[in-house]
Every structure is written in structure tokens, then in C-alpha cells.
Amino acid sequence: MDIDLNQTLENIAEFYYGKRLKDCTDRELYYILLDLTKDLLKGVEEIKGDRRLYYISAEFLIGKLLSNNLLNLGLYAEVRDILKKNGKSLAAVEEYEPEPSLGNGGLGRLAACFLDSIATLELPGDGVGLNYHLGLFHQAFEDYKQKEYPDPWLSDNSWLTDTGKYFPVQFGDFSVDAHLYSIDVCGYTKKKNPLMLFDLDTVDESIVQSGIGFDKDDIRKNLTLFLYPDDSDDAGRLLRVYQQYFLVSAGAQMIIEDMKAAGYPLQEISRHAVIQINDTHPSMVIPELIRLLMENGLTLDEAIEQTKQTCAYTNHTILAEALEKWPMGFLEQVAPQLLPIIEELDKRAKERSDNPKTAIIDENGVVHMANMDIHFSKSTNGVAKIHTDILKDTELHDFYELYPEKFNNKTNGITFRRWLQACNPQLTDWIISKIGTGFLKNADELAKLLPFVKQPQALKQLAAIKQEKKEELAVFLKNRQGIELDTHSIFDIQVKRLHEYKRQQMNLLSAIHLYQEIRNGYKPEQKVTIIFGAKAAPAYILAKDIIHAILVFSQIVDSDPEVSKYMQVVMVENYDVTCAEKLIPAADISEQISLASKEASGTSNMKFMLNGAVTLGTDDGANVEIHDLVGDDNIFIFGTKSEDVIESYAKGDYHPQAVLEAEPEVNDIVNFLVGEEMMALGDPECLHRLHHDMTTKDWFMALRDLEAYMAERKKAYAAYADKDKWYAMALTNIAMAGYFSSDRTIEQYNKDIWKLK
């Protein structure tokens, strides 16, 4: 940049606050930097082309934007140094940036990483989503339980820009106007794309009362309040359908407007637009686009064919409950104009195959969104090799037989700008000192680090960086939650949404076992800090019981002076991107222990690996590819294989009672959940419910893998004792992480599906 940044910042400080930079508060500095950065982004060149991607998604978990934007604008170091000269720190200033609450977990974070890579590769593409005012929810812990509160993040001064555009959306018996906002997404080569977010002016945050409760029927006031409103009743489910139709109708109108503005005939829309449907939430874009194309003069056949060639679908899960299906009655109420089109699509699908498993509308009049996506889009992809194989062989096998050419794999990735450069500048600088800057543009060059695995000096430097990141995390958690960490312990971290299939409960049981052993006189060589971070869906009772058990157990450990010499259990409140950026660089062990076949890919596994943590996990999702890359010696793998899990489900032959009878030790561990110590602090109802479920149902087979997990975990802790060997493992993981750059993922999407240039 050829501006005098220091002077510009002084000028803004003078203009807004009548102060010198050095006299501004951190909050004022944040607004000064926001102002400067937004202004600079305005001047950044927009990415253009004669074919454009629309990545449509219910979530974009973008995280704080200041550092990332400064980094991509090439100003990060300069701004940091200017602040430093004025006695300020960029990190402290960033504390005042609210994290945008536009996402939930992996799927939303993936969308955010993709936007960064799409812009960096200079591909023309918009993100298309909703502007939730209060996010998913803010998690607080009270009485060892999760409590949900609104998570307001919007203020007069945010990254949003008002485009001034409105699109009318017709619901059954009323209509609304979707108001379009945008956020600039600047790539690493200083060109930008927009994230387009629709909102509704009449939405009223004041209707939210007692936690996150509100009138679910008042659509004009509640439509864009929350991401994934509680769907445990019909009103909540209906609200989700309203949100989805609002997103796709406004989105499809925007796309058509773009096409018209560029002078492209809609008969050829598939030559100029591609819509990537991120999971099933935006599936109604298919019938809506068909409807709008027909309004614009295409015949039904033309509209269907063009839509099919324009849309592509990404599947993110094989969990049945996540493959959305809506009763026809819901669609009739929300968007009756779509019904004849969906019925037509269903008729054509049934002509293609009379297999009831591939029907769009089933015999109960329920619409299966994923089925519509697969029939009427040109591509269906899974998100890791094993996941795509399971889709083809098992879950979507009938579709695979119909359309083998549509199925393809795109293993997920993460943006190294955020997950290495911004969150771990120390490690970034160290890598540059060893192999130069080439890896910043070509992540595969990280493999040049491999020879350093044999250099003790290099490994010591790496260990020193890990220590520094642990200390930073300790300060962060002390400030945020008042927790004290022992930074000389092993940091063993599991952070991700709370779900039984991810098996936080198995981690807890293993920690309980360690506690029992220490109580019985075992003295571990090395202290361990087991850290959890996870939000549970508000209506997911068992997930909340697991959080409760973790929080109670954490207190039990803390209160025991003997045990707490050797272990600590921590649960981080309100796990979000900001938190992840602190936790992940500080980790020694990355817990990736899902029941094999259930985790489609995972992306935190990639973030941990890139930051020099060693994976302790099952052969599931992208762990399988991590395992292939680093080899048996640089990962800790255990547990039932996915084929065996799938077979067990098919046969229904897994019973936790059998494990409890065969393995008395497991029995002792599980019974701790309802033992005296837990009962003294915890809620008996929650703990008994969890215990009952684990001993009678255990749908995700935590007990089956518990012994194997505990043995492998001990192996990992023992390996940590040999520091040279440990950091050689850590460095091997960093060196092999290049494959997981989302730049690679996006190049593959572009080559196989989008064909943008």
C-alpha cells in the first residue's frame, strides 16, 4: 500500500475522537481500524468473470474479521507495529470485535474457509446466506449446566454494508421484502468477493424473553432472529421452513438479476451461474429457480434442465436425523407456489425409478430434500474419502446406481491464512525461517519441513513455540473464564459441537478412569489438562446431560488436592472461532474420537494437525486421510472400524450390557456417573438419565471402544515423555498438512464442478 498508514490512522483518531492514537482506548482503536479496513476494502478490485459461483448456505461461521482482513490486505505486520509503537497491542484491540454469529459448527466454518480460498484463487463467487441477529445462542454455564442466551453481535458499526437492495418474497398468505447486506471477503491476492446476507427490516429483537424464548408464530418479527430455531415443535419446524424459503427465494432472484444485468439469456443460465447447495437447508432453491425461470419465459422442460445443470449438492452427514424432510402441509403453508413444481419433480423422479428409497415425496406425503437435490442437480459430493465411499456403497447406494457419474469426493480443507498465519504467527515465522515463504501460496511446500524432523535444535524451537501458545491460552482462559492452567501439563483437547456420535462422553469416561487410578495410588509421570469446548443444541437433552457430567466431574477433580496434582478437566464456555484460534495452537493432543463411519470429515482435525498437535482418533472422516499421510508412527488410532460399525447397525448386534458383563472395569467407570461424588454436586435426574442411556442403549457405542481408547490414550501420554520424539511427530504432522489447505479443495471443486475459469 502506498499510503502513510500511521498518518491515516492518526487522522481517523483525530476525526472521531479528537485524540492521538496513543491516547485512544482499545475499543476506540478497534473502531478506528474497522473504519480504515472497511474503507480500504471498498477500493479492492472485485473478482469478475462470465461464469459465477453462488455458494448458498444456512451458515457462515466467519469468525472475527479484523486480523484476517489486515492479513489479506498485506497490512497485518505494519498495523501491529504501529500499535506497538503507541504502546498498544493488536490482540487487545481485537478483543473488542464481536464475533459474527452466523454459524454453528463445521459446516458453517467450512463455508467461511471456502469463501477465503475462492477469493484467494480469484474465482468469481458469492456466499449467499442469512443475517441472523442473535446467532445460534450464547452458551453460559450455571449450576454446572448449559444455559442459552441471545448472542447479539450487530451494531451500527459492523462489517456489514447495506446494498440498498430489496427482493420481495411471497409466503402463503403474506409477503415480505428481503433486504440485502454484504460483507467484503478479501483474498490473499487482494481481490474480493461478497458474502451476501439477507435480512428482514421488521425483525424485532425485543420479542425474545427468558433466555432464547420467543413467539414462534410471528414470522415478520422472528424470521432472522436465530440460526436453527428450536425444532422440537411444529411451530419451530415451520419457522425453519420460512427461513429456508426466504433465503432461497431472495437468493434465486438475486442470481437472476445478476444474469440479466450481465445480459445473459436465462435459457443459458447454466453457462453463467453455478449454485453450490451446502447441505439440505437451501434445497428449495431448486424448485424456486425453476419457478422463477418459468416466470421469465422458459418452458417447464427448459427450466428443469437449466436448473439441474446449474445446481450441485454437498452432502455433509449420513446421520438420518440431519437429512431434512418436510411434510407437504408445511410447504403448502410457507410456499404453496412450489408445490406443483415439487410434485412434478417427484413424478419425474418416480418415472426414473420406482424404488421408494429414491422418491422425493414418500408415501406419507413427506418431501425428502436430499433426494430432490440428487435427482435435480448435476453433482453430489461427500466431504472426505471414506464419507463419499459410504455414500456410494451404503447410504445413497440406490442413487449411486441411478447416477454414478454425479457422485464425487471433495475432501474438506481449512484456510491456512486464518488457521496458521493469523492464529499462530510464531509458528508461521518459524516455518518461514526454515523453508521460506513459498508455502503461503502453495501449501504443499510444507513438506520441505520433513528434513527438520531429524534436527534436535529445530525440534527444541518448535517446543518453545508450543509452550508460548500454551501460555497465551492460559492468559486467555484466565481472562475469559477465570480458569488457571498448568502450562507444563499435556494439553489434550476436544473441541467441537456436542453430539453423541462425536463421543465426548467416551472422553469423560476415560478421564474418570484416570481419576480412579490416581485415587488408587497411581502417579502419572506427566500431568494432563483435558479440555472440552462444545455447545449442545438447546433441545438435545442427552447432549446437555453430557455437558452437565463434564462440569460436575471437573469440579470434583479440582476439589481433590491429590488428584489435581496430576490432572485437570476444563470445559470452555461458549466455544466459538475466537476460542478455537487460541485453543488449537496450544494443543498437544487432538481428540478426534467419533464412532467410525459417523463423522463425515471433521475440519478441526486438520487445524490441530497444522498447528503441531498429534491426533488421537478413530479411523473416521478425514482422520483416515491424515493417517495415510503421516503413517502409523505419527498418529494414535484405535477403535472399531467403520465396516464393522455399519455391520453392527445392520444386524442390531451391539448391546452395552454385553460390554459391561465382559469388562468389569468399564462397569466401575460408568457407575461413577451415578456414584456418591457426582450425586453430591450434580443433578440426579440428568446423571441417571445419562447413565441409563449409556448402559442400556449407547447408540454410538462409546462403551464398545472405551478400553481401546484408554489404552491408546496412555500410549500417547507415554510418548509425550520423550520430547524429541514427540516434537518429531508434531513436525511430521505440520509438514504433511498441506493437503488440507482449502485452496486445494476449492481447486478441485472448480476443476470438477464449477469450471469458473
Ligand X SMILES: *Cc1c(COP(=O)(O)O)cnc(C)c1O
Catalytic residue numbers, as ranges? 316, 496-497, 502, 603, 607
Single out the residue of 150, 602, 682, 738 in contact with ligand X (rule: CB under 6 A): 602
Minimum CB–partner distance for residue 362 and ligand X (Å): 30
Which residues in 606-625 contact ligand X (CB under 6 A)? 607
CA–CA distance, 386 with 699 (Å, rounded to integer): 21
CA–CA distance, 466 with 117 (Å, rounded to integer): 27
3-state secondary structure (DSSP) of residue 407: strand
Minimum CB–partner distance for residue 384 and ligand X (Å): 11
CA–CA distance, 69 with 549 (Å, rounded to integer): 40
Single out the residue of 379, 529, 603, 634 in contact with ligand X (rule: CB under 6 A): 603
CA–CA distance, 287 with 280 (Å, rounded to integer): 13
Which residues in 640-679 contact ligand X (CB under 6 A)? none
CA–CA distance, 179 with 176 (Å, rounded to integer): 9
Provide the greatest CA pair distance for the chain: 80
Query: How many Cβ atoms from other residues are within 10 Å of residue 442's Cβ?
Result: 12
Q: Are 139 and 148 in contact (CB under 8 A)?
A: yes
- Residue 176 corresponds to which cell in the numbers above? 415480505
Minimum CB–partner distance for residue 421 and ligand X (Å): 15
Q: Which amino acid is at 720?
A: Y
Exposed (0-12), middle (13-18) or buried (19+): which is 408, by Cβ within 10 Å?
middle
Single out the residue of 64, 80, 109, 291 in contact with ligand X (rule: CB under 6 A): 109
Nearer CB in complex with ligand X: 411/604: 604
The alpha carbon of 710 is separated from its chain's Cα centroid by a whole number of angstroms, namely 27
496 binds ligand X (CB under 6 A): yes
Q: Which amino acid is at 611?
A: N
Identify each DSSP E strand in 348-431 by its residue range.
366-368, 380-382, 407-409
Q: Which helix (H) or strand (E) holds 258?
A: helix 234-261
**CA dist list (Å): 663 to 385, 508, 518, 704, 711:** 34, 18, 20, 10, 14
Q: Which helix (H) or strand (E) holds 161?
A: strand 161-170
Q: Are 636 and 712 in contact (CB under 8 A)?
A: yes
Nearer CB in complex with ligand X: 178/702: 702
Q: Choose the stretch contacting ligand X; rule: CB under 6 A; options: 92-100, 105-113, 149-157, 645-653.
A: 105-113
Q: Which helix (H) or strand (E) holds 372?
A: helix 369-375
Minimum CB–partner distance for residue 576 and ligand X (Å): 5
Which residues in 542-581 contact ligand X (CB under 6 A)? 576-577, 580
Of 439, 434, 447, 444, nearest in space to 421 by CA: 439
DSSP 591-658: EE-PPTTS-S--SHHHHHHHTTPEEEE-S-TTHHHHHHHH-GGGSEE-S--HHHHHHHHHHT---HHH
* Residues 500-539 as x/- pattern, contact with ligand X by CB under 6 A: ----------------------------------------
Minimum CB–partner distance for residue 109 and ligand X (Å): 4
Of 200, 192, 246, nearest in space to 225 by CA: 200
Exposed (0-12), middle (13-18) or buried (19+): which is 349, by Cβ within 10 Å?
buried
DSSP secondary-structure letter at 559? T
**CA dist list (Å): 228 to 231, 247, 258, 539, 684:** 8, 13, 29, 11, 30
CA–CA distance, 117 with 113 (Å, rounded to integer): 6
413 binds ligand X (CB under 6 A): no
Interacting residues of 305 by C-beta distance below 8 A, sequence separation 6+: none
* Residues 50-89 as x/- pattern, contact with ligand X by CB under 6 A: ----------------------------------------
Which residues in 327-356 contact ligand X (CB under 6 A)? none
106 binds ligand X (CB under 6 A): yes
Single out the residue of 101, 604, 611, 642 in contact with ligand X (rule: CB under 6 A): 604
CA–CA distance, 490 with 567 (Å, rounded to integer): 9
- Residue 168 corresponds to which cell in the numbers above? 420481495
Which residues in 150-209 contact ligand X (CB under 6 A)? none
Q: Choose the stretch contacting ligand X; rule: CB under 6 A; options: 84-92, 104-112, 351-359, 733-741.
A: 104-112
Binding residues for ligand X, rule CB under 6 A, total 11
Residue ranges binding ligand X (CB under 6 A):
105-106, 109, 496, 576-577, 580, 602-604, 607
